[in-house]
Every structure is written in structure tokens, then in C-alpha cells.
Structure 1
Amino acid sequence: MSRLKNDTFLRALLRQPTEHTPVWLMRQAGRYLPEYCETRKRAGNFLNLCKSPSMACEVTLQPLARYNFDAAILFSDILTIPDAMGLGLYFADGEGPRFERPLKDEWEIRNLSAPDPHAELQYVMDAVSEIRRALDGSVPLIGFSGSPWTLACYMVEGASSSDYRKVKSLAYSRPDLMHHILEVTAQAVIKYLNAQIEAGAQAVMVFDSWGGVLSEAAYREFSLPYLEKVVAGLIRERDGQRVPNVVFTKGGGLWLESIAAIGCDAVGLDWTMDIGRARQLVGDKVALQGNLDPNVLFAPPEVVAHEARRVLDAYGNHPGHVFNLGHGISQFTPPESVTVLVDTVHEHSRKLRAQG
């Protein structure tokens, strides 16, 4: 494989000095781009798009053709693992993901097993390999997975939820069954991410999208230990290169120092926490990724630029910052706002470096 022409993202994750602050966006290949919508229409549906390595490669590269991003992220979905476990993933129009067979009975939970990523999920590895070839060393490729807790939420609820009543009821009334789901799912996530690394992913990210719905005690029992287990099981070096990892709990600012202590290389922040304060709390233990409010991108260009500079100034001229949104980009975002954001991050961070 070619050496990377732009390794700024990887160096920032390892808290090494960079010429500018690298930037990429969660869900950067998505419905805000007209070219993505065209490819998705050609695929017929979202799952077909995810399961076609050539189409997944096509949409992964689309934002890089428009914007000067410092990393690509594999186009896939966090629910590939429970789908491979036999829960029957499907997407209802306007309703998001659903499972035909959510976990309800004890015997179903006891029978749960981690899928072989080289069998049921080979299409993801094929996409990773194809994307790496297509990138040709331009920027690094990020692989990803949902966290054990977040995947378990979908597996028990059967869909996204407003109150998480089913999964929390199970956690409180039958913690033994909840821990069994989380243990099996953690092993599945480890195998899945390591298979992505072996296929060519140069960094990996764990999305704990629903960790923030837990109480302090429940987070420390049902999410954090399994994040730690996943991080401990990851391949850390391949072909002589470090493979950094990022852990992101949406709503996890309360537990920032605890997340930073699990052994990860970087912690993703949502938009509710001041990134300068976050840097003071974690010191040089981890890099930080974030954390512009995605809705800023609906504001006029001068406001987008101002808010981007505000995040950069709050972090300061220190190594270890990857600029991102505090969550995924909205499908309604004007594409031109992203141009303003990316250009501002690069220009302003270079000025910060020049000031010393």
C-alpha cells in the first residue's frame, strides 16, 4: 500500500504535532450530498448500499471529492453486527432501522453468539479493502462499530427508542441477562474491528451513541467496562504502524476522565462540553475529537466560521485535537456550509500554529 500523503489525522490522534488541525465529520458520506442521494437511489435501498462493496466505496469517496477532509470513514451502519447475529435488520421508510426479531426471551439471549466477521460480515471487509485501494494513500481510512451498550439497546428495543424502557427494564430486573448480551456483543465488536484493521482500516472508532441515556451508576456498570474491554482487545499496530482508536459516548461529558482512563487513544466529545475545559481535565492522556454543534451549519457562513474558530481557540495551540461535529451531520445541512467549515478549520489552525 502507498504511504500516506496526508497523515495529519493519525498524528493528531497520537498527540503528535501537526501543521494544521485535521477535520472530518461523522456521517460525512450522507444524505446532505446530492451525489450520495443519487447513488442510494441506484442501490434501491440503504441496506443494498451498505452490502455492496463497490457502492460503499463510491459513497465513502464522494465527500473527499468535494471537501479537503483529512480522513475518510467507511460507509456502513452500526447495526451490521446484530444483523449478522440473525435479528433481521430492515429499514422502514421514515422510521429508521428496525429488527424483525428483537431479543425478548431468555433462551434467545442465552443462544446469542458473536458472528464470524469473515463469514456474515465479509462484505464490510471487502468494502474496506476496496476503499483503501481507491484512496491510494491520500488520507487514512477510519473503520468503526457501535458500542456494546448501544448495539444492545437496538437489539432489545427492536428500533430506536424515546425512553429505552425495554432495555433499561432488562438491565435493572435481569442484570445477568444484560451482561450476557453485552459480553457477547463486546466480543463481536472486537472481532469486527480487528477484521476491519486487517482489511486496511488505519484507525477505528467506537460509537456509544446511547451511553448518555444511562445514570451514573448504570453507565459504569453497563457501558464503560465494555468499552474498556473492546479497547483492550483491539489490534494496536499493523505493518509497523500504530492503529489509533477513538471512543465516543454521546452525552458522556460527565464521565470524560473515566473514559480517558480506559486505554483509548482519543475521546470524542459532543457539543455540550467546552473543549478547552475537557483538555484541562484529561491533560495529555488522550487526544480529543470534536465538538461543534451540528446545527451551527444551518447558520450564515460568517457564523459557521466564527463558531469553528471558537472551538479551535478553546482547545488552543496544543497537539491532540481532531476537529469534528459533536454528532453526525444533519441530512438537511447545506453542502456549502461544510466548505466554509473545512476551510476555516485549516486556515485558522495554521494561524494558531504560526503564533506559537
Structure 2
Amino acid sequence: MLQNDLLLRALKGEKLQRPPVWMMRQAGRYLPEYLALKAKYDFFTRVQTPELAAEITLQPIDIVGTDAAIIFSDILVIPQAMGVEVLMEEGKGPSLPNTIKSQADIDALITENVEESLGYVMQALTLTKQQLNGRVPLIGFAGAPFTILCYMVEGKGSKTWEKAKKFCFTQPQLAHALLQKITGITIAYLRAQVAAGADVVQVFDSWSGSLSKQDFEAFAQPYLVQIAQALQPHAPVILFPKGSWYALPALAASGASGIGIDWCIDAATARSLTNSSITLQGNFDPAYLLASIPQIKQRVKQMIDAFGTQHYIANLGHGITPDVPVDHAKAFVDAVKEYGA
């Protein structure tokens, strides 16, 4: 039995005194306790060791007091499960030396037995669920198919994703074949996460904002909708297509329970585009956590005033950055908890 079910109630649209609050990337790089583990273990050791992943997942619950935990993992475990090598260099980000170029590359991808190949994630979820002991809900997640395609084709991070977009635009049949393979394994992966203890799942389309509305509708939206519709009978789904404000009307009708939004759209516009029919999550600029604590608290109040306390989850518009002081992160969380008190 959950002692704090605000997140689940917000996703159902129930009337609340205040919205729930959590922060994307809350388990990690701004916390000294995390940095101590980072100094001892490389990135994928942290991800692939259930005891470490559970410990890192719980840190923000204990330290800053968020209303939900999100499992410590990475979106690029899916390419790994598909047989693609993923390297993670500290300070440089991910690299995938063997990029997808042809039908033969796509045919060689593994899509079976994700429950086994990523069993360490399920073990981490189950262990975390036990250690949470009902304090708050646990969120599982995966990368969206378009975002995963970007990494598998580009081979590394990019500001423009020109190589990935060229692949989609010049070889659309190959792109859709790859997107469908990613979608299938992602659905199986998220279902396994729910079975292992995730109360909610979030799908991160971190790079969909690089697409026009027309191209989003071709290469991102159909696969997000497939995932939402496949998972919704099992657990609430939050879709986060960063930068794709134009997709709000379509995604509000996708069957998902929530949509994450960044800081480049205001509450009134987001509510209008979704006809106030779905729970919205966001949209605090993570950089504003570097302002003074009184400024943070004032901005949080303004944000909740604008969105209201129903059909809303207070969160950042993207992940918390490493340079945010812990007391500023806590001030953000506390300001939400103090709303209306």
C-alpha cells in the first residue's frame, strides 16, 4: 500500500491540494552521495548492479524528498540489448562505434528475450520497490524509438542530428523498419518493468524536437502512440517529447496518462492545445535552479498558479544539471510541498 500516491492520483486527474513533484535525472550527478559512488564504479557498473542502482534511485527520496522515485538506468540499454555496442566515457557522453546503415544491420538486431538481457533492470526495480516500502511510487522508463534511432544511426550525441535525419528522409523504409524493431522491444521492456514493480512508466523522446511537425508525425508519433496504447492497460504512461509542442493535441488523444513539457511553452498554451484533457508534467527550466532560493520558490508558486493543482505534476522541463546545489533542488521540492499550505 502506497503511503504517498499523489503521482498516481494526479495521472488520474483527481482533485489535489497540491501537485506531486519529482525531477528528471533526480537520481544522480548533482548529489554528493552519487558522486562518491561514481568515483568507485564506472557508469555501466552502476547501471547493471541492482544494489547500486537501487541505492542511487533511493538517494533523492531520502535527501530532497520527491514524491516519486525513478529507477537509475539509461535509455541506451535498449541498443545494448539489441546487440549494439554502447560506450560511455565520463565527460564525453555515449558513443556507438557500429552504427546502423543498412537492412542487413537492422536484420541483425536482437529483439527477443529483453526480460533476460536487461534482467538487471528488473532486479533493480524489484529491489528498489522492496526498499521503498510503499513510501512513494516507482517510475520505470525507456527512450522513445526516434531518440534511440538517433543514437543508433548517428553513433553519438549531436546538436542537429543531421545524419539520423538524413537516414529517415532518404531511406524512410529502412527508418521505419528500425523504428518498428525498437518499438517492439521497448514495449516488451516496459511491460517487464511494470511486472518487476514500476508503478508508472515514462518514455523519453529527448530529440524529437529536432523534427518538424510533419516529420514528427511520420517518424516519432506513431511509435509513441503504439507504446502508450500497449502499456496503458498495465500502468500509467507519461510521454515526454521534448521540444515537440506541436504534438500536444495528437498525444493528448494517444491513450497516455500524461505528457511532459519543457519550459518553452506556457501553461495556458499547453492546456489549450490538450483541451485540458490530460495531465501535464513540467515545465520548470532546470537553469532556474541556479537562481536564489527565494526566486526559485516564487517561480514555483507562479508555475503551479498557472497550471493549477489538478491534472498537473510539478517537474523540470528537462534533467537537473550537475551544477545545481542540493539545497536549491530541495527548495524546488519544498516549494511544491508548501503550495496552498
Provide TM-score, normalisation by structure 1.
0.93
Alignment-mate amino acid for residue 52 of structure 1: T
Alignment-mate amino acid for residue 149 of structure 2: A
Q: CA deviation at 1:13?
A: 1.0
Aligned runs of 1:1-356 on 2, under 5 Å? 3-43=1-41, 45-234=42-231, 236-237=233-234, 243-317=235-309, 319-348=310-339, 350-351=340-341
Q: Which moved more, 1:84-93 or 1:146-155?
A: 84-93
What do the CA deviations read for 1:246-269 (whole angstroms, capped 9, x no partner)? 000110112211121111110000
What do the CA deviations read for 1:263-319 (whole angstroms, capped 9, x no partner)? 1110000010102331233234210001100000000111111111111011124x1
For residues 163 and 138 of structure 1, the distance between their equivalents in structure 2, rounded to whole angstroms, comes to 41
Which ranges of 4 or more aligned residues in structure 1 deviate by more than 6 Å? none
For residues 235 and 196 of structure 1, the distance between their equivalents in structure 2, rounded to whole angstroms, comes to 13
Q: Determine what percentage of the aligned residue pairs are the same residue.
A: 40
Q: CA deviation at 1:113?
A: 3.5
Secondary structure at the residue paired with 1:327? coil
- 1:305–1:344 Cα contact (<8 Å) kept: yes
For residues 58 and 262 of structure 1, the distance between their equivalents in structure 2, rounded to whole angstroms, comes to 34
For residues 171 and 277 of structure 1, the distance between their equivalents in structure 2, rounded to whole angstroms, comes to 30
Residue-pair matches, total: 341
For residues 331 and 50 of structure 1, the distance between their equivalents in structure 2, rounded to whole angstroms, comes to 18
Secondary structure at the residue paired with 1:176? helix
What do the CA deviations read for 1:163-211 (whole angstroms, capped 9, x no partner)? 2121111111110000000000000110000000000100000000001
What do the CA deviations read for 1:117-175 (whole angstroms, capped 9, x no partner)? 22210000000000000000000000000000000100111111122121111111110
Q: CA deviation at 1:34?
A: 0.4
What do the CA deviations read for 1:196-234 (whole angstroms, capped 9, x no partner)? 000010000000000110112110000001100111111
For residues 282 and 106 of structure 1, the distance between their equivalents in structure 2, rounded to whole angstroms, comes to 38
- 1:15–1:287 Cα contact (<8 Å) kept: yes
Provide TM-score, normalisation by structure 2.
0.97
- 1:150–1:211 Cα contact (<8 Å) kept: yes
Q: Where in structure 1 are there 5+ consecutive unaligned residues?
A: 238-242, 352-356
- 1:24–1:323 Cα contact (<8 Å) kept: yes
- 1:194–1:235 Cα contact (<8 Å) kept: no
